[in-house]
Amino acid sequence: MPVPSNELFQQITECFMPIDTEIQFASRRVKLPKAWILQAVNQIASDYGWTEGEISITIVDDPQIHQVNRQYLNHDYPTDVISFDTTELDSFLEGEILASADTAHRVASQNDWPASHELLLYIIHGMLHVIGLDDSTSTKAKQMRSEEKHYIESILGDTTVCKEAR
Residue 96 three-state SS: strand
What mean pLDDT is predicted for residues 128-138?
95
Residues 83-127: tens digit of each pLDDT: 999 999 899 999 999 999 999 999 999 999 999 999 999 999 999
Please indicate, yes or no, whether the overall pTM of this predicted structure exceeds 0.85. Answer: yes
Number of Cβ within 10 Å of residue 22's Cβ equals 10
Q: Give Cβ neighbours of residue 119 (< 8 Å, ≥ 6 apart).
A: 30, 32, 59, 99, 101, 104
Backbone angles phi, psi at 99, to 5 degrees: -130, 140
CA distance 106 to 51: 35
Q: Give Cβ neighbours of residue 124 (< 8 Å, ≥ 6 apart).
A: 40, 44, 147, 148, 151, 152
Residue 40 three-state SS: helix
Residues 4-52: tens digit of each pLDDT: 555 555 545 445 568 999 999 999 999 999 999 999 999 999 999 999 9
Residues 51-71: tens digit of each pLDDT: 999 999 999 999 999 999 999
Domain layout of the chain by residue ranges: 19-161
Q: What is the CATH number of domain 19-161?
A: 3.40.390.30
- Residue 147: closest CA among 133, 161, 163: 133
Confidence category of residue 166, pLDDT binned at 50, 70, 90:
very low
Q: What is the predicted pLDDT for the residue at 162?
A: 72
